[in-house]
Amino acid sequence: MADWDPHAFTLALLADLRANDGVATSGPMAGRHLLILTTKGAKTGEPREAILASTRDGDAYVVAGSKGGSPQHPSWFKNLEADPIVKIEADGKVLEAKAVVAAGAERDVLWERHVAALPAFGDYLGKTEGRVIPMIRLEPIK
């Protein structure tokens, strides 16, 4: 896989999602409903895009700060902690949203629902070295 270019893969996936209302149509993500989260870089102030799996909680989109089970939080999570007003592209819509990090029992319920809908996330717990994976509600700003 020496020829694999992660930047080119991400650009192609972004284009695919935008062209198909948030559903990947090719490659290893084919058939998956994903959202594009745009945060403001905590240090640079520049827009930063991340492609994430999500679930729903009422009107809110819910994402996990899993980073594939890494012991560190993903950079997009650090960005939304610095500025919780984000842009999301999901289901063919572009929305401004406020990111709210769930805590306690609410976090646990969101995690359980997320894993029930997306079972692969359950495998991440053994890799985090004790880090609690944050659950974030992306609440559309009306």
What is the tally of structural domains in the chain? 1
Whichever domain contains 107, its CATH number is 2.30.110.10
Which DSSP state fits 71?
A: S
* Alpha-carbon span 67 to 69, nearest angstrom: 5
Note down pLDDT in tens along the chain; length 142 residues.
457 788 898 999 999 999 999 999 988 888 888 999 999 999 999 999 999 999 999 999 999 999 999 999 999 999 999 999 999 999 999 999 999 999 999 999 999 999 999 999 999 988 889 899 999 999 999 7
Q: Is residue 28 part of a domain?
A: no
**Residue 111 maps to a domain:** yes
Domain membership of residue 40 (yes or no) is: yes
Residue 46 lies in a domain: yes
Query: In whole angstroms, what is the distance from residue 142 CA to residue 131 CA?
Result: 33
Domain membership flag for residue 74: yes
By the 8 A CB rule, do 101 and 134 touch? Answer: yes
Q: What is the pTM of this model?
A: 0.92
Count of all residues that appear for the chain in the document: 142
Residue 49 lies in domain? 35-140
